[in-house]
Structure 1
């Protein structure tokens, strides 16, 4: 609008100083209304010429800026998110919102690509380890002169590694389903204390083999949640406690209800967690001690699944631990009906 007004004023001023002298030089003497009409006609001609010149200039500038934007988008389409939009300060100010939006999009897409590559790398690594073991022990079985004890030992290892592969596949499928919009979510009222007691009973072979003392303080309480999904949460947390608690140790499960929230805490007298590892516990494939986790059969996905399910219920999970002093995992969820919430999450 300012540009248009400026062009009109410039055209009329130029016509005012050009029209009368030009008419006198041509031998015409106009005055009054005729002179004004002549001034108006000439100013209109000047305006059209100036508008054409200015229009071509701005059109050329816009084409250059659009070419830069299109080039940046093509660069991102090729997987290169390190873009630079060089408009110059003035033009960049004119396209400020678009420039900021494209930079933000490039940053987010770059982060997603880094996470995707890291995920593929981790999956490949986790698959390679059991496959290498299976291949090695399968070759060992082909050797002549093996006695039955050695043969049975190799077969047990192959079976264990096959189970690791199967569990990894199942956990990856669970994570993918939980992160998609296709996860069935059917919250219904049920007795939470009964569910926790049943998980303890089902896991008895694991904790009794290590002679662990298991304590439970589970008053009668009802929750509205997806019973099947929450069962996975309690099983993962209990099995983690069993896995990292030395023989003869103690595991305590406690449930409390307050202000419409339920807090379920799994406390163990295990080996604890290093402080610098706690913020990463729920990241996929994170293992605070990779060799120990591998020996125990962990894939680094269990706590990721736990966090996803808890967040799906609009809940939260927190960890308190000191190295050598055990760990306490507390799950907090609404007692009444939750609505599905899809957010990011972590691991075992």
Structure 2
């Protein structure tokens, strides 16, 4: 019983001991009385007292032996199951769930057993390791897929280039595809490296004061050739906001969000970038008039390699890592990133960051 003082536990156990002993003596008294009545003998009081005491101890001992054998048998099963579960976990089998019952089949005694926290911890550990293993396998599968697709294209077009009958225009087109696929592989490699470093907490984190509005403006201007090529109306409103953050890391967040907006905004669409100070936080919104995201995809949009529209993302050259990187960086700054979208109504990402970083 959690929170109960030790002396209370001792008092309860002593009370149970004497209660069992008293019950044994009572049983011995009535048993000897029945025997004396049947044989018609009235023994001396002292003799009857000694006989009752000895018989009571015998009943108490016999009952304790039976109960002890029962408990030891249950404990043996319990420890065998516990050890086997640990062995399975050590071999990489995380489909482990130790039964919650101990002592009674219905499990009511299990919650009172002092080892229930150990069992619950092992079950939780197995469940967490299982989830991590599933994520690892999914991650490997996604990486293999993302690497395999461009490699297949490169190999196919390289084989086609061996044909001497190709005209210069076709040859140039094939070389362009190979160059684009190589750039895609390079970008995927860079993003994977960034995520690995961010996850390991080895990435240098150097918060320093700077003007967030100037950084946003610089990122938007750097993307100007892309959004001008699609005749996108870029609407920017940025208050003058001083912030303490890692400028290089935050630049990656804005680049990812703005590039995503440009990528998915159709010809002649509109992108809105908004920055304002709200209390002790800076709030940045990047909204586009693209195709939007379905409600079923919104909860998973920040997962690694997750693509709401896989065919559309692939044609645009994405790998599904940009938003994961942005979320990781926002978390490192004790900030948040959220998304609001509906199919056919565009998408809006909101990043909220503290103006100062706590020590």
Q: Same fold (TM over 0.5)?
A: yes
Of 38, 50, 64, the match for 1:51? 64
Q: Take 2:163 and 2:16, find their aligned partners in 1: how far apart are those partners?
A: 89
Of 93, 115, 118, the match for 2:135? 115
Q: Secondary structure at the match of 1:276?
A: coil
Of 234, 251, 255, the match for 1:235? 255
Conservation of the 8 A alpha-carbon contact between 1:188 and 1:224: yes
Conservation of the 8 A alpha-carbon contact between 1:81 and 1:109: no
Q: What residue number does 2:7 align with?
A: none
Q: What residue number does 2:289 align with?
A: 269
Indicate the larger mover: 82-91 or 105-114: 82-91
Q: Alpha-carbon deviation of 1:234?
A: 0.3
Count of residue pairs brought into register by the alignment? 335
Q: What residue number does 2:108 align with?
A: 93
Q: Alpha-carbon deviation of 1:100?
A: 4.5
Q: Take 1:323 and 1:86, find their aligned partners in 2: how far apart are those partners?
A: 46
RMSD in angstroms over aligned alpha carbons? Answer: 3.2
Tell whether 2:75 aligns with 1:62. Answer: yes
Q: Take 1:55 and 1:188, find their aligned partners in 2: how far apart are those partners?
A: 67
Of 224, 229, 237, the match for 1:204? 224
Q: What residue number does 1:279 align with?
A: 299
Q: Take 2:126 and 2:197, find their aligned partners in 1: how far apart are those partners?
A: 27
Q: Take 1:277 and 1:312, find their aligned partners in 2: how far apart are those partners?
A: 24
Conservation of the 8 A alpha-carbon contact between 1:310 and 1:316: yes
Q: Take 2:101 and 2:181, find their aligned partners in 1: how far apart are those partners?
A: 57
Change in Cα spacing, 1:338 to 1:146, as seen in structure 2 (3 Å) is farther
Tell whether 2:84 aligns with 1:71. Answer: yes
Q: Take 2:74 and 2:288, find their aligned partners in 1: how far apart are those partners?
A: 68
Q: Alpha-carbon deviation of 1:80?
A: 4.6
Q: What residue number does 1:344 align with?
A: none
Conservation of the 8 A alpha-carbon contact between 1:187 and 1:338: no
* TM-score, normalisation: structure 1: 0.83
Conservation of the 8 A alpha-carbon contact between 2:285 and 2:349: yes
Q: Alpha-carbon deviation of 1:335?
A: 1.3
Of 214, 225, 232, the match for 1:194? 214
Q: Take 1:303 and 1:231, find their aligned partners in 2: how far apart are those partners?
A: 13
- Does 1 or 2 have the higher relative contact order (CA < 8 Å, sep 6+)? 1
Q: Per-residue CA shift, 1:260-309, capped at 9, x if unaligned?
A: 11111112233333343333321221222212211211001111111111
Runs of 5+ consecutive residues of structure 2 not aligned to the other structure: 1-12
Q: Secondary structure at the match of 1:207?
A: helix
Change in Cα spacing, 1:276 to 1:288, as seen in structure 2 (3 Å) is same
Q: Secondary structure at the match of 1:246?
A: coil
1:1-348 alignment, distance < 5 Å: 1=13, 3-13=16-26, 32=46, 43-44=56-57, 47-77=60-90, 78-81=92-95, 83=97, 85=99, 87=101, 90=104, 92-96=107-111, 97-98=116-117, 100-338=120-358
Q: Per-residue CA shift, 1:163-215, capped at 9, x if unaligned?
A: 11121122122223323333332222111111112212222232233333323
Q: Secondary structure at the match of 1:162?
A: helix
Q: Alpha-carbon deviation of 1:83?
A: 3.8
Q: Take 2:203 and 2:24, find their aligned partners in 1: how far apart are those partners?
A: 68
Q: Take 1:86 and 1:291, find their aligned partners in 2: how far apart are those partners?
A: 47
Q: Take 1:300 and 1:109, find their aligned partners in 2: how far apart are those partners?
A: 24
Q: Alpha-carbon deviation of 1:103?
A: 4.3
Runs of 5+ consecutive residues of structure 1 not aligned to the other structure: 340-348
* TM-score, normalisation: structure 2: 0.80
Indicate the larger mover: 44-53 or 269-278: 44-53
